[in-house]
Amino acid sequence: MAAKTTRTGSTKDPTRAFFESLAARGHEPLLANASGTMRFDLADGKRADHWFVKVRNGDLSVSNKEAKADAVVHVERSFFDRMVQGRENGMAAALRGVLVAQGDLGLVLLFQRLFPGPPRSRGPVIPGQGPVARSEGAR
């Protein structure tokens, strides 16, 4: 079976697809009350990829800059790939020390809403409200 490719022709990876989908949304209602910046430092051997996300009342922008942020998340790239596929849980990873978050932990907890639930789930879950229905543009 041939590998799926992105518009640029590179092999599609879950992390890039996740951040590209955030950028394409432009606005995320689940973060309507959140503002701040987050940087994800994803280690892959001796190198690290950086993803910088700016949230302003739910409006999102995404880049690869390695800038100062309100919250910084350090995790192995392969583990983050599994998180964005719903195969790993960020909160459990933080408790095990696999994922290290620094800075505005409230922002990190809010951002966690954007990760998919486990396979076969219907999407992110808001406590007290159940699964959030996904629009076609949010996939």
Q: What is the pTM of this model?
A: 0.76
Q: 10 in a domain, yes or no? A: no
Domain of residue 27 covers: 20-114
* pLDDT digits (tens), the chain, 139 positions: 333 433 443 457 899 999 999 999 889 999 999 999 999 999 998 999 999 999 999 999 999 999 999 999 999 999 999 999 999 988 899 999 999 999 999 999 999 889 887 776 555 555 444 555 444 444 4
| 3-state DSSP percent of the chain in helix, strand and coil, to 5 | 30, 30, 40
Q: 24 in a domain, yes or no? A: yes
Q: 50 in a domain, yes or no? A: yes
Structural domain count of the chain: 1
- Return the residue matching tokens 């190198």: 47
- Determine the pLDDT at residue 4: 41
Here the CATH number for the domain that contains residue 108 is 3.30.1050.10
Q: 33 in a domain, yes or no? A: yes
CA 15 to chain centre: 8
Q: 123 in a domain, yes or no? A: no
Cα distances from 30 to residues 72, 77, 106, 124, in angstroms, run 20, 25, 14, 10
Q: 131 in a domain, yes or no? A: no
Closest CA to 61 of 73, 52, 74: 52
